[in-house]
Amino acid sequence: MTLSHESKSVKCATSSFTKRKNSLFSPPELYLPGTQCALRSQVSLASLTSFRVGGPAEWYVAPRCIEDLQASYQWARSEGLSLTLLGAGSNLLVSDCGLPGLVLGTRHLRHTKFDPETGRVTVGTGEPIARLAWQAAERGWQGMEWAVGIPGTIGGAVVMNAGAHQSCTANILVEVQVLCADGTTQTLTPQDLGFSYRSSLLQGDSRLVTQATFQLQPGADPVQVLATTTNHLEQRKRSQPYHLPSCGSVFRNPTPHPAAWLIEQIGLKGYTIGGAQVAERHANFILNCGGAKASDIFQIIRHVQQQVEQHWSLSLETEVKILGDFQLA
């Protein structure tokens, strides 16, 4: 299996599949034997990513249990298909051409178990991290107040080392379970994951996070923890544009000045291509103001990088993961 986006033909008519739909009017939908897993072809990724842009996945599946996840993963491997792992799609820019191979969505893989003895919480990969932050706050467990404004899943947060308000996923992570390309599972500690700012060794890796365990601090007053959590959310809504589709911060922050400051200083707030615009409220956000194409956003990213390079002699790196072909789009 490969994580590149090299297109391969899919042997979808093999006898090992149950074919549920395959008329002229509806794209094929296949079921892997012994699973409830519908593999659907030509599924729009615009509706599955927070930018609301991007073409279709050649194949898409969103398993509801680990066994179906393993079966889908092995199917992609046996067919020699490229594999793209998709959480909430809140840090992705997908090409208007879409993605070849199998896009494996984790959003239905959800479970949460709080252990009051240890103060640890074990969570399925598809659980929204913001929802977990609210659940912890309601119990008076401290440690996740920072995560409330992040619209991603637990798996995406681990891989991206998502963070805010001077904290991040690595600070509270105890261990993760991953599914490897050969079908085996591993338990990894933060030391194994090489965490740094918005980065982990799992980026660009074929291992799939299935579950994570975090260490929190139970026993605080829920009213207090809820108040801090609410304050964090309100602070973010005041300073960041949550009202239009985006991926949050597009660029990683260099030192000493944050990317937003560098972009704002050279007058790029409001810079527009097609339906995409550098946000007026926060210059490190690019917004889909309506009808944007992925190529509009991509062109703005390149323009901002060129201008920042020219004015500040700095190369801005993207935090957003850019997937698929942008030359053909």
Instruction: Give the single-character DSSP code of 40.
Output: E
**Cβ proximity of 295 and 317 under 8 Å:** no
Exposed e or buried b for every residue in 243-265, given b needs 16+ CB within 10 A?
Answer: ebbbbbbbbbbeeeebbbebbbe
81 binds ligand FAD (CB under 6 A): no
Q: Which residue's CB is nearer to ligand FAD, number 50 or number 95?
A: 50
Q: Which residue's CB is nearer to ligand FAD, number 159 or number 218?
A: 159
Residue 326 tokens read as 């942008």
163 binds ligand FAD (CB under 6 A): yes
* Cβ 149 to ligand FAD shortest distance, Å: 6
Distance from the Cα of residue 180 to its chain's centroid: 19
Q: Which range binds ligand FAD by CB under 6 A, 27-35, 65-73, 145-153, 296-304? A: 145-153
**Cβ proximity of 7 and 79 under 8 Å:** no
Strand residue runs (E) in 32-172: 38-44, 56-61, 83-86, 92-94, 99-105, 112-115, 120-124, 163-164, 167-168
Residues 261 to 290 in contact with ligand FAD, rule: CB under 6 A: none
Query: Is there a catalytic annotation at residue 280?
Result: no
Among 28, 54, 55, 87, binds ligand FAD (CB under 6 A): 87
202 binds ligand FAD (CB under 6 A): yes
Q: Which residue's CB is nearer to ligand FAD, number 3 or number 12?
A: 3
157 binds ligand FAD (CB under 6 A): yes
155 binds ligand FAD (CB under 6 A): yes
Q: How far apart are the first and last CA of the chain?
A: 25
Query: Is there a catalytic annotation at residue 198?
Result: yes
Report CA dihedral (170, 136, 156, 276) to the nearest 10 degrees. -110
Query: Is there a catalytic annotation at residue 139?
Result: no
Active site residues per annotation = 198, 249, 319
State the residues that interact with ligand FAD by CB under 6 A.
50, 85-92, 106, 125, 149-153, 155-157, 159-160, 162-164, 198, 202-203, 208-209, 242, 246-248, 321
